[in-house]
Amino acid sequence: MSADLKYKLGDSVPAGSFKYIAWTPEADDLAVCGIPQKLDIEKEWKGKKVVLVAVPGAFTPTCHANHLPPYVEKIQEFKNKGVDVIAFIAANDPFVLSAWNKATKGAEDKILFLSDGNAEWSKKLGLHLDLTSKGFGVRTNRYAAIIDDLKFSYLEVEQPGELKVSSAETVLSKL
């Protein structure tokens, strides 16, 4: 794990909430914006096994082309290993994340696309990424967590430019 992490395996996840727009067949059109809802981690994920994947941004080259697609392809494998929720988080707003969901065929209501606004939750973990020098602001770092009944059973952050510890294959192997 990264030396910047403020949590270790077995620790309870920090309290928090994410904004998201639930996918529905009626709202699958990009012209339909939807209404943001709040997901409270402690209420929604208690008693569940959650795979949480953080990316610096929706539609960015690595995130869109290399990180998300294997998760979509392996949804059933995750479910077969007892995963109740697969969620992708990014510091983008919920409207952008909803559009990313709509642009990702196969994800629909099977993967949650959650807004970690201003990377607030990721900051609690010590896993935010300051890209203001590039004009991108503060983002979520690229990391993955397995959360079992609100406790971390896996939490790893990627080294810059890598896609290993948060890949679908690696996370599946840790379940």
Active site residues: 63
Contacts (Cβ under 8 Å, ≥6 apart) of 130: 138, 139
Residue 10 CB burial class (10 angstroms; 0-12, 13-18, ≥19): exposed
Q: Which of 76, 79, 53 is nearest to 147 (CA)?
A: 53
Beta-sheet pairing, 49-54 with 143-148: antiparallel
Residue 48 CB burial class (10 angstroms; 0-12, 13-18, ≥19): middle
